[in-house]
């Protein structure tokens, strides 16, 4: 029987992490039960006052599926969720409905009061499943259906960034309008026994009497108290125990880094060179597609006179821009895991390179298959029954068809098997609470929490489908990739000898405990206004404030983190070969605090989100958080790994330096020159003129701000080119394979550094 090495830290760290994990998911499970019990109802049929059926439950669900699979969620928004060029269809319908009814009733103040009463009155009978609309509501529906048919579905020429005559079937356009009309009904009809609608009175709309609820104000105030109190408590504890969890050591460690050219490579590590090439190409293409996407804000009918919407409409380029960003980051993470496994275990099983090559091929099938499927789906080239499976499901972040989701999950499971197979000798000798096992657990969370997205279907009740979608958007992207990020950073620093395994393990457990409650339950801040019960707003507001606390600690530790890369042996010119990789990692901390912390908290309070959701401030947060954190981490991992894969004559510090400054400066210019100021102006327009108005073409009044984004885009694109060039050279001319030797049982790495003793002698790590 193999004896396991004891835990390098106290078992209390593991026990505390498990406890907070259970608490967080228990609260989230409670919210899942409540959302199934009390979502906004979908009536069996909607009729007018004469009993004439306007549309049925199945037509509403079919309309939702058509709305998604034609990519309309990647053109405008529904309940504030989606893309930003088009209108928010819920708010737009509701405003047009109110205006239409007021005109029909005479346009007087009395007519306005009547419209408010009719729209707020809930005439849904749960016993029969029938919803009765007034004649004014029924006539407004027909009027708005004609408007959408002319301006959105069947527009004869390119405009608004959409393909001309996108939807020709009148039955399909009527079903889509029925779905939108249902969302507008949920936004104004009062919940039984409550003074607010199914969406907590969202959107703000004076004509129908929708205004901020008392609950939104109360929970916003309490979440601020939670934030300030939580930061005070955590910083106090951190001050007391900072020596145990910070990015620093209490002991003096001097290391000499092994030259990358002399570090042995395994066959599977060599295969990762092609992963990094694929990732670099995806990164470059994603930037180019992003430039075309944002150009629609200044020229909705084309691209410098070219009729681009006919082939690549906004909803398609926006989908590809988002999907390529996810694929770029995921590809680097997969490659980094395969590359690091032999460094942790000290050996590589036979045939590992075959599995890695198989995974690379499978990844290519998923990437290009899903992008092609989205093209066919949005252009209506697939039979309706196959659109969601082979084409696009159309949920933002889960746009790819169901087949490609299945294959992506299978690919991630294969990756997990590769990681486990590589680590198995090491895992057999380690306590299940030590760093190698933590790396394995974090890898396991990647396919596990992405697979939750399978619970979202194109015909799911929207509140339920959106809830599970945000498990992927928030838990997978914002929490577990965040933990995987911390794990990779800590692990790389251990492998380089910069921090000890004990300190890295403590830091990871500390991070897990902070995210397990605030980050997990904070998922609900996405669901304030999607038709779920009001308890989601209470829990989401209170706990999402706690998400800022670990990001605050990152800022406190930023200087210590940055100084870790400066541990060099005097007189050794190339003593630290990973300066730019560490600087990319340092930028991850900066963007984590600014993008996820400051910009995230700016929009998470219910009292702010009520007016802000679906504006460019959301996009501002998304760009700073996703690209700033996961994108920069992906670049850091790419630089770290290809430093070992590259032949010395192919490596270029100058190209990497340029890429670092160009990508970071470009992102700053994007945010400060476009997204943030335009988002603030848009928020002001919501408060002044109403949400429907701020989501119309108002931003075309500020074309200079949209053009002001171009310098940032160009600089950022320029920063992606050197990575593609380096990755291409490395893929074509990777260093030869040398099998590594096994490390000692007390250390994770024996190949990247040697430790320098106080007397100047060296000893193997």
Q: How far apart are CA 7 and CA 420, in angstroms?
A: 20
Spans of all domains in the chain: 45-203
End-to-end CA distance of the chain: 27
Per the structure block, which two tokens stand in for 15? 């026990």
pLDDT band (50, 70, 90) for residue 583: confident
Span 658-716, pLDDT tens digits: 999 999 999 999 999 999 999 999 999 999 999 999 988 666 667 777 788 889 999 99
Lowest mean pLDDT among 102-106, 383-387, 693-697: 693-697
Cα distances (Å, whole numbers) of residue 557 to 227, 561, 594, 693? 19, 6, 14, 43
Q: How far apart are CA 537 and CA 511, in angstroms?
A: 25
Q: Is residue 395 helix, strand or coil?
A: strand
Span 67-98, pLDDT tens digits: 999 999 999 999 999 999 999 999 999 999 99
pLDDT band (50, 70, 90) for residue 577: confident
pLDDT at position 725 over 60: yes
Per the structure block, which two tokens stand in for 305? 């006179």
pLDDT at 765: 38
757 burial via Cβ count (<10 Å: 0-12, 13-18, 19+): exposed
Q: How far apart are CA 367 and CA 580, in angstroms?
A: 29
Span 267-293, pLDDT tens digits: 999 999 999 999 999 999 999 999 999
Radius of gyration of the chain (CA): 27
Beta-sheet strand order (sheet of 124-125):
53-56, 45-47, 130-132, 124-125
Highest CATH level, class, for 45-203? mainly alpha
Tell me which residue has tokens 């990973």: 578
Span 207-261, pLDDT tens digits: 999 999 998 898 888 888 877 777 777 667 666 666 665 555 544 556 677 788 8
Tell me which residue has tokens 């994108």: 631
Q: Is residue 394 helix, strand or coil?
A: strand
Q: Is residue 309 helix, strand or coil?
A: helix
pLDDT at position 525 over 90: no
Give the helix/strand (H/E) hosting 562. helix 558-564
Q: How far apart are CA 245 and CA 512, in angstroms?
A: 12
Span 497-520, pLDDT tens digits: 777 788 888 888 887 887 777 778
Per the structure block, which two tokens stand in for 394? 């159309």
pLDDT band (50, 70, 90) for residue 564: low
Per the structure block, which two tokens stand in for 187? 């936004």
Q: What is the mean pLDDT of residues 152-164?
A: 79
Residues in the chain: 765
Q: Is residue 585 helix, strand or coil?
A: helix
Q: How far apart are CA 207 and CA 164, in angstroms?
A: 33
Q: What is the mean pLDDT of residues 577-593?
A: 84
Per the structure block, which two tokens stand in for 270? 């060599």
pLDDT at 572: 47
The alpha helices in 38-169, defined as continuous H runs, are 57-69, 89-104, 109-120, 135-148
């Amino acid at each position: 029987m193999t004896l396991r090495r004891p835990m390098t830290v106290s078992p209390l760290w593991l026990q505390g992490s498990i406890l907070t994990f259970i608490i967080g998911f228990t609260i989230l499970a409670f919210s899942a039960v409540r959302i199934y019990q009390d979502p906004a109802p979908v009536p069996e049929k909607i009729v007018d006052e004469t009993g004439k059926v306007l549309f049925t439950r199945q037509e509403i669900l079919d309309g939702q599926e058509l709305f998604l699979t034609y990519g309309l969620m990647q053109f405008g928004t529904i309940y504030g969720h989606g893309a930003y060029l088009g209108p928010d269809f819920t708010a737009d319908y509701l405003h047009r409905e109110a205006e239409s009814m007021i005109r029909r009733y005479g346009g007087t103040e009395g007519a306005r009061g009547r419209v408010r009463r009719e729209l707020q009155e809930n005439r849904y009978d749960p016993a029969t499943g029938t919803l009765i609309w007034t004649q004014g509501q029924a006539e407004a529906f027909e009027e708005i259906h004609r408007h959408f048919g002319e301006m959105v579905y069947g527009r004869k020429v390119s405009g608004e960034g959409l393909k001309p005559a996108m939807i020709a079937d009148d039955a399909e356009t009527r079903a889509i309008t029925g779905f939108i009309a249902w969302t507008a009904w949920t936004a104004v009809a009062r919940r039984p026994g409550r003074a607010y609608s199914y969406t907590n009175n969202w959107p703000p709309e004076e004509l129908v009497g929708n205004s901020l609820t008392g609950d939104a104000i109360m929970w916003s105030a309490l979440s601020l108290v939670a934030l300030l109190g939580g930061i005070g408590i955590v910083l106090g504890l951190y001050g007391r125990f900072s020596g145990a969890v910070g990015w620093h050591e209490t002991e003096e460690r001097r290391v000499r880094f092994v030259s990358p050219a002399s570090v042995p490579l395994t066959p599977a590590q060599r295969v990762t060179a092609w992963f990094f090439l694929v990732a670099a190409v995806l990164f470059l293409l994603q930037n180019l597609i992003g430039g075309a996407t944002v150009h629609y804000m200044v020229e909705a009918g084309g691209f410098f006179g070219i009729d681009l919407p006919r082939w690549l409409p906004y909803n398609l380029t926006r989908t590809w821009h988002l999907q390529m960003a996810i694929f770029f980051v995921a590809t680097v993470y997969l490659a980094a895991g395969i590359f690091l496994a032999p460094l942790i275990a000290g050996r590589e099983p036979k045939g590992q390179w075959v599995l890695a090559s198989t995974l690379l091929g499978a990844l290519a099938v998923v990437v290009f298959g899903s992008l092609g499927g989205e093209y066919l789906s949005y252009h209506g080239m697939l039979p309706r029954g196959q659109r969601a499976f082979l084409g696009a499901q159309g949920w933002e972040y889960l746009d790819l068809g169901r087949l490609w989701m299945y294959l992506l999950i299978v690919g991630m499971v294969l990756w997990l098997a590769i990681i486990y197979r590589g680590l198995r000798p090491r895992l057999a000798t380690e306590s299940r609470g030590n760093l190698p096992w933590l790396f394995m657990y974090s890898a396991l969370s990647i396919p596990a929490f992405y697979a939750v997205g399978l619970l979202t279907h194109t015909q799911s009740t929207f509140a339920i489908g959106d809830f599970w979608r945000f498990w992927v958007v928030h838990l997978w992207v914002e929490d577990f990739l965040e933990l995987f990020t911390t794990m990779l950073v800590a692990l790389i620093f251990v492998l380089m000898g910069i921090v000890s395994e004990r300190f890295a393990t403590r830091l990871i457990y500390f991070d897990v405990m902070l995210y397990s409650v605030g980050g997990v339950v904070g998922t609900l801040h996405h669901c304030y206004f999607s038709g779920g019960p009001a308890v989601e707003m209470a829990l989401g507001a209170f706990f999402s404030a706690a998400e800022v606390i670990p990001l605050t600690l990152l800022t406190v530790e930023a200087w210590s983190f940055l100084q870790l890369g400066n541990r060099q042996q005097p007189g050794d010119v190339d003593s630290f070969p990973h300066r730019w990789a560490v600087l990319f990692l340092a930028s991850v901390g900066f963007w984590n605090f600014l993008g996820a912390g400051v910009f995230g908290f700016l929009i998470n309070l219910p009292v702010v989100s009520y007016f802000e959701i679906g504006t460019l401030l959301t996009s501002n947060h998304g760009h700073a958080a996703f690209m700033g954190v996961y994108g920069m981490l992906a670049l850091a991992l790419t630089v770290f790994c290809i430093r070992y894969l590259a032949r010395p004559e192919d490596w270029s510090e100058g190209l990497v330096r340029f890429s670092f400054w160009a990508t970071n400066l470009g992102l700053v210019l994007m945010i400060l020159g476009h997204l943030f100021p335009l988002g603030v102006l848009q928020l002001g327009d919501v408060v002044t003129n109403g949400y429907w108005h701020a989501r119309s073409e108002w931003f075309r009044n500020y074309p200079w701000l949209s053009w002001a984004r171009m310098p940032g885009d160009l600089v950022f694109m320029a920063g992606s080119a050197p990575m593609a060039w380096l990755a291409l050279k490395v893929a074509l001319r990777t260093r030869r394979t040398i099998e590594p030797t096994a490390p000692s049982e007390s250390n994770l790495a024996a190949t990247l550094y040697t430790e320098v003793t106080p007397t100047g002698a060296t000893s193997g790590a």
